Each structure stands twice: as structure tokens, then as C-alpha cells.
Amino acid sequence: MNNNPFDETEDNIRPPDKVKVEKLVEDTRSNYEKEIDDALYISMKEYKKQQECYDTYEEQIMEEYVNVCTKRKEIFEVFLFNLNRLIKYDKEIKEILDIIDPIIDSYCNQYIEFVILDELTYDKIFNTLDKVRLNRQTFEILKTIIVKE
């Protein structure tokens, strides 16, 4: 016997499968059962289409949420970075940052749109931040988020 697997003289072909003949059974359901099946099929198609619509809408909402969060975080990124640098040298700014950091975080994650503080705290925050050289645009946005009572 030849050990070469590519030898064409040897007959390695398996015989073909036997032919199977199948007959479809005649549909013996009543017209009522056929109509029920058709109605179920149509209902399933409509449900699937509606579910796809809901999924698309949900994806749009989530995408919009992520975009807004990202934009808000970008606005305050440099602002918070600069304040974090200053807290090493100024105790009063550290106290202010301890107050406004969770507020800004909540705003960026869209938990809140604004927060109302008492007049004393509000004045302390903005009088202290007014002394620091910070981005004025970010400072004005912060004033719309933190509102005086």
C-alpha cells in the first residue's frame, strides 16, 4: 500500500448518501387556526418593529446623555485642576473646593441643574473665587449652577 495521501490511483472516495424522499403532510388545520397563526405572526412582526424603534430611541437618549456629561466635564476640567493646585497653599480655597466639588460633579453627571445655597455660603464661595485668577466663563457658569437663596 502506498503511504502517499495524494496518490490518485487509490480510490478514497466515499459512496454517495442514499436519496431520501419526504412528503409534506397536508395542512389539516381549520380556517380559524390558520387565521390565529397569521394574526400571531403579524403581531410578532409588529412587536419586533416596535422594539427596534424603542431600542433606537434608547440609544439616542444614552448618546445624548454621554455627550452632555462630556461637555460639562470639559468646561470644569481646567477650573478644578487650578483649584486643586491652589488648595496646597490656601486653606480657604480648600474649604470652598470641598463645598463646590460635589456640586460640580452632580451637575456634570446631570443629577442636578442648579443648587440653592444660603446667602452666607454663596457670598463666601464667590468672594473667595473672585480673588483667584480663573476662567471668567467657567466662573459665570458656576454662578448659574450655584444660586443664592
pLDDT-derived band at 10 (thresholds 50, 70, 90) equals: low
What pLDDT, on a 0 to 100 scale, did the predictor assign at position 27? 82
Query: Whole-model pTM above 0.95?
Result: no
The grid cell for 85 is 493646585
The grid cell for 50 is 416596535
For residue 66, pLDDT over 90 is answered with yes
- Residue pair 100/146 in contact by the 8 Å Cβ criterion: yes
pLDDT-derived band at 107 (thresholds 50, 70, 90) equals: very high
* Choice between 148 and 1, residue whose per-residue pLDDT is larger: 148
- Residue pair 107/149 in contact by the 8 Å Cβ criterion: no
Domain boundaries, the chain: 31-148
> What are the start-end ranges of the H helices in the chain?
31-86, 91-108, 119-130, 136-145
Q: What is the pLDDT averaged over residues 4-16?
A: 69
- Of 27-36, 56-65, 134-143, highest mean pLDDT: 56-65
